[in-house]
Amino acid sequence: MSRHLIVDSHQAAQMRCALRRLEFAAVLIVGLAVLTTASVCPAATVIVDNVDAGFSVLPGGAWSTFSASGQYGDDYAWKDTDDVPAGEVEWRPTIGEAGYYQVAVWYRSTGSGRPDNAHYTVYHAGGTSDVYVNQQENGSQWVILGTYEFAAGTSGAVTLTSEAQAGKNIVADACRFASLIPEFRGFWADAFHSGFKSESQIDDMVSRASAGNYNAIVAEILAYKDTSGGGHGAYWHSSIVPWASEVTSGFDPLEYLCDRAHASGIEVHAWLVAYRVSTSWPPSGNTTISAHPEWIMVPIGSMGGGPATVEGKYVLDPGSPDVQEYLISIVQELVNNYEIDGINWDYIRYTDDNAGTRPTRAMRSRAWPASRRLPATSARPPMKGSLRGTTLDDVKSTNSSAGPGRKSPPSPAIRASRCGTRPI
Ligand SMILES: [Ca+2]
């Protein structure tokens, strides 16, 4: 499965759901400050046992219960197929999210004592489906009735009638509804701790992710666009952003991470801090941004001067088309050369109410001294939409050009979530 996922805090709650369920405490998790939205995880699998509230004996003949090895849970219901009147039972799940579910039933088999034509009826979004099961075999395991679409809620159900092969005892035990909705069970591995700084760290992280049943790693391969400290710089062989200190000509963390994770069936999503550059000026190692101080967002009180920090950091101006093109070039480099499965934009917003430039050329021209103003009559392309939208457009049109030692580029199927900037 290959996809591109562009997210910010809106999807963090989904990740938190996965983290809660899987209790994988050893992973590196940051960005928890944005994990503030309470949410309810949709149940991926619903099992209704004969003792659960979703199980009921419908009007008609009564059913007995019995307990024996091979049952699901504490006991099971059963009925003589010769009983008059016949009886019927029902499993009615509470479906958390509409979609397709694989339906399976559990019964304890005693061989010839069971009917060979137990008649189940599945009530689903597309109507009803009758399924006959030979309860003389395949007992004490999930026996699949098929895959059906269900609406959210309690409109779906499975019933079983005791009308079956004569002289047998039919069993009604548990029924399972397993969602086929893809789950994103990811965690974030930040750039400021161990995790993907060496081959041994990556081996360990992927091993833990696999053991924890994760299917995605969101790795912060670009936290700062300079090299002034640990965790700063690109964690891949970039020709655009200076390399992090751990990156060498012989070790490409992103390439190795993609290799190892994909070998374990785990996706790799590139976590990029969108606009943050550095804590000092000029940004060490980044000659491109150093040459473009007009790309830097400044507090309103500092407009007309040189680069200034916003909340202690030099950050790019989200309203600048040059900035957008610079960031898009980074994404294109990643998509062209690595088998990443998604892009995770972080801090894709203005970080302060009192800083920035309005997204009009005229406003920027007034804000910057003449020596740094944008050309008033340049052939600059028109202001594009959000960085997210620009990313989608540009990455979709990116041509493949894998370099030596790199992976073939993925097919950039892209899914975007709600995210974006807020105006100043
Ligand atoms: Ca049971």
Model pLDDT, residue 351? 79
Same domain, 102 and 78: yes
pLDDT of 100 > 80? The answer is yes
Distance 52 CA to ligand 1 centre (A): 9
DSSP state of 296: B
Instruction: Give the angle 261-266-270 at the CA atoms, nearest 5°.
Output: 75
Using only C-alpha atoms, the chain has a radius of gyration, in whole angstroms, of: 29
Distance 17 CA to ligand 1 centre (A): 28
Same domain, 175 and 200: no
- The average pLDDT across 391-407 equals 43
- Rounded Cα–Cα distance for residues 87 and 271 (Å): 57
pLDDT: is 23 or 391 the higher one? 391
Distance 143 CA to ligand 1 centre (A): 15
pLDDT of 184 > 90? The answer is no
Q: Which of 177, 266, 174 is nearest to 219 (CA)?
A: 266
Across the chain, what does the average pLDDT equal? 80
Same domain, 35 and 82: no
Question: Over the stretch 234-277, which tens digit does the pLDDT of each residue have?
Answer: 999 999 999 999 999 999 999 999 999 999 999 999 999 999 99
Same domain, 154 and 58: yes
Distance 50 CA to ligand 1 centre (A): 5
pLDDT of 84 > 90? The answer is yes
- Rounded Cα–Cα distance for residues 12 and 10 (Å): 6
Same domain, 128 and 49: yes
Distance 254 CA to ligand 1 centre (A): 48
Token digits of residue 166: 């004569």
Model pLDDT, residue 139? 96
Same domain, 27 and 126: no
Question: Over the stretch 107-165, which tens digit does the pLDDT of each residue have?
Answer: 999 999 999 999 999 999 999 999 999 999 999 999 999 999 999 999 999 999 999 99
Model pLDDT, residue 23? 28
Token digits of residue 326: 């610079």
Distance 129 CA to ligand 1 centre (A): 23
Q: Which residues contact 21 (CB under 8 A, 6 or more apart)?
A: 41
Residue 422 counted as domain residue: no
Indicate the residue among 131, 147, 179 that finishes a domain: 179
Q: What percent of the chain has pLDDT over 70?
A: 74
pTM for the whole thing?
0.57
Same domain, 379 and 331: yes
Residues recorded for the chain: 424
Model pLDDT, residue 389? 54
pLDDT: is 420 or 140 the higher one? 140
Long-range contacts for 411-414 (Cβ within 8 Å, ≥24 apart)? 411/2, 412/4, 412/335, 413/2, 413/3, 413/4, 414/3, 414/4, 414/5, 414/6
Q: What share of the chain is helix, strand, coil (3-state, %, to 5)?
A: 20, 25, 50
Distance 55 CA to ligand 1 centre (A): 10
Distance 217 CA to ligand 1 centre (A): 38
Distance 171 CA to ligand 1 centre (A): 10
Same domain, 28 and 90: no
Distance 70 CA to ligand 1 centre (A): 10
Residue 86 counted as domain residue: yes
Distance 416 CA to ligand 1 centre (A): 43
Q: Which residues contact 266 (CB under 8 A, 6 or more apart)?
A: 206, 209, 210, 214, 215, 216, 217
Token digits of residue 299: 């507090």
pLDDT of 421 > 80? The answer is no
Q: Where do runs of H (alpha helix) occur along 129-252?
A: 199-211
pLDDT of 213 > 50? The answer is yes
Distance 76 CA to ligand 1 centre (A): 4
DSSP state of 70: T
pLDDT of 35 > 50? The answer is no
Q: Are 175 and 48 in contact (CB under 8 A)?
A: yes
Same domain, 214 and 247: yes
- Rounded Cα–Cα distance for residues 133 and 138 (Å): 10
Distance 98 CA to ligand 1 centre (A): 26
Task: For residue 54, give the CATH number of its domain.
Answer: 2.60.120.260
**Which of these ranges, 88-97, 158-167, 247-256, 412-421, has the smallest mean pLDDT?**
412-421
Q: What is the residue range of 19's domain?
A: 4-41+183-416
Number of domains in the chain: 2
Task: For residue 293, give the CATH number of its domain.
Answer: 3.20.20
Q: Dihedral sign for Cα 91, 97, 103, 109, please.
A: negative
Distance 83 CA to ligand 1 centre (A): 22
Give the CA distances from residue 65 to residues 68, 79, 81, 141, 294, in Å, rounded to whole numbers and listed in that order. 10, 9, 15, 19, 77
